[in-house]
Amino acid sequence: MRGGLWQLGQSITRRLAQSDKKAVGRRFFSGESELKKTVLYDFHVAHGGKMVPFAGWSMPIQYKDSIMDSTVNCRQNGGLFDVSHMCGLSLKGKDSIPFLESLVIADVAGLAPGTGTLTVFTNEKGGAIDDSVITKVTDDHLYLVVNAGCRDKDLAHIEEHMKAFKAKGGDVSWHIHDERSLLALQGPLAAPSLQQLTKDDLSKLYFGEFRILDINGAHCYLTRTGYTGEDGFEISVPSEHAVDLAKAILEKSEGKVRLTGLGARDSLRLEAGLCLYGNDMEQHITPVEAGLTWAIGKRRRAEGGFLGAEVILKQLEEGPAIRRVGFFSSGPPARSHSEIQNEEGKSIGEVTSGGFSPCLKKNIAMGYVKSGSHKAGTKVKIIIRGKAYDGAVTKMPFVPTKYYKPT
């Protein structure tokens, strides 16, 4: 059994590394000494973290427990993730909302202050430059987090359009929060553990909501969100307080919340049916094809006004040619780029993410198939190392989500 779990860890390490290579190109993997480290690096190593290159950073893929055990523990108790490699930034100014709306598909103006949503930065062809969680802090302050592997291209894209916007008289400026670290606390013990470290009543903070508050004596940005399908939080904390906050969270949970690495994070997000940029979403995939139609605000569908709107609105009207779907499959776990065939042996698509689900104890995957072959229950063949294995399209998420919402 140990050998199988080790192989799973190695497979995820390779898969994460491969997505990095696609995302950040030739500047990556030139040497361990060039990798950036979060302020929690020594803390990870002291707790048995196995450090691997990811998006130009040295990050823990797992700790002393296995990826399988760590995944299950997050759903049963809780997991604490260092996601400080991701890039937080603020947009400020009276025109920050119309500026951001020119780049993303969300109805930012329609958000209530202190709430947020998942959105997608699009290019002129409607493809995804990156996905991001954005929050309207106030009418003239927006906070967003972008993926580590997309940081350079995202910031260049935003800056290019900001210069043009400001040249026309627009009032918008930005600040990149490199002075802050980002922790993700996920699972059923997330709220009870964090509540012990703040005076604010977290029972009144629902999924997708944001608050600025003191946690463990530090001035934090708190969003009730995550990447696991569980209830939880992402905590932006001044970097000088990050290690103390991580220690305090683990202590308040009496050891039940564990440090959790990128390996389990990948398993958890796949079980929750969530996209990994560079695998399940790329420059040539539109939000409609990716199954993120719900993230396109109603007003935006009527008005457009974002890059690639013509392509995206046409797909909304006529339907996309391909669609992202989930699969259960037999045989070895399907991996990225595994071919998908219909029962007649005709190629209909490709797997983008796959693996063995630690919680369901079965193979799960997601990928893209031609429209018409996307309905749940459709039988398919998945080609792995030249051999066809039975599979079936299934609805996602694979594991039910447990987001904290008003009853």
Domains of the chain: which residue ranges?
Answer: 40-86+179-270, 321-406
Mean pLDDT of 193-217: 98
- Fold entry, domain 321-406: Elongation Factor Tu (Ef-tu); domain 3 (2.40.30)
d(CA 24, CA 12): 18
Residue type at position 193:
S
DSSP string computed for 103-121: TBSS-STTSPTTEEEEEEE
The vertex-242 CA angle with 239 and 244, nearest 5°, equals 135
Long-range contacts from 107-115, C-beta under 8 angstroms, 24+ separation? 107/297, 107/298, 107/299, 107/300, 108/134, 108/136, 108/142, 109/299, 110/297, 110/299, 111/135, 111/136, 112/136, 113/137, 113/138, 113/139, 114/209, 114/210, 114/211, 115/208, 115/209, 115/210
Residue type at position 125:
K
User: Could you check whether the bond before residue 98 is cis, i.e. omega within 30 degrees of 0?
Assistant: no
* Cβ–Cβ < 8 Å for 234, 183: yes
The model's confidence at residue 70, banded by pLDDT at 50, 70 and 90, is very high
> Which residue, 99, 112, 104, is CA-closest to 297?
104
Query: Model confidence over 280-338: pLDDT tens digits?
Result: 999 999 999 999 999 999 999 999 999 999 999 999 999 999 999 999 999 999 999 99
pLDDT at 13: 46
pLDDT at 8: 45
d(CA 356, CA 290): 22
CATH superfamily, domain at 40-86+179-270: Probable tRNA modification gtpase trme; domain 1 (3.30.1360.120)
Is 234 marked as binding a ligand? yes
Query: Model confidence over 13-57: pLDDT tens digits?
Result: 445 444 443 433 333 343 566 999 999 999 999 999 999 999 999
Mean pLDDT of 77-106: 98
Give pTM, 2 decimals: 0.92
Mean pLDDT of 195-223: 98
Beta 141-146 vs 210-215: how paired, if at all? Answer: unpaired
Q: Helix or strand or coil: residue 367?
A: strand
pLDDT at 22: 42
Please give the sequence-ordered ranges of beta strands (E in DSSP) within 303-346, or none if there are none.
322-329, 339-341
In this model, does residue 188 exceed pLDDT 80?
yes
The model's confidence at residue 67, banded by pLDDT at 50, 70 and 90, is very high
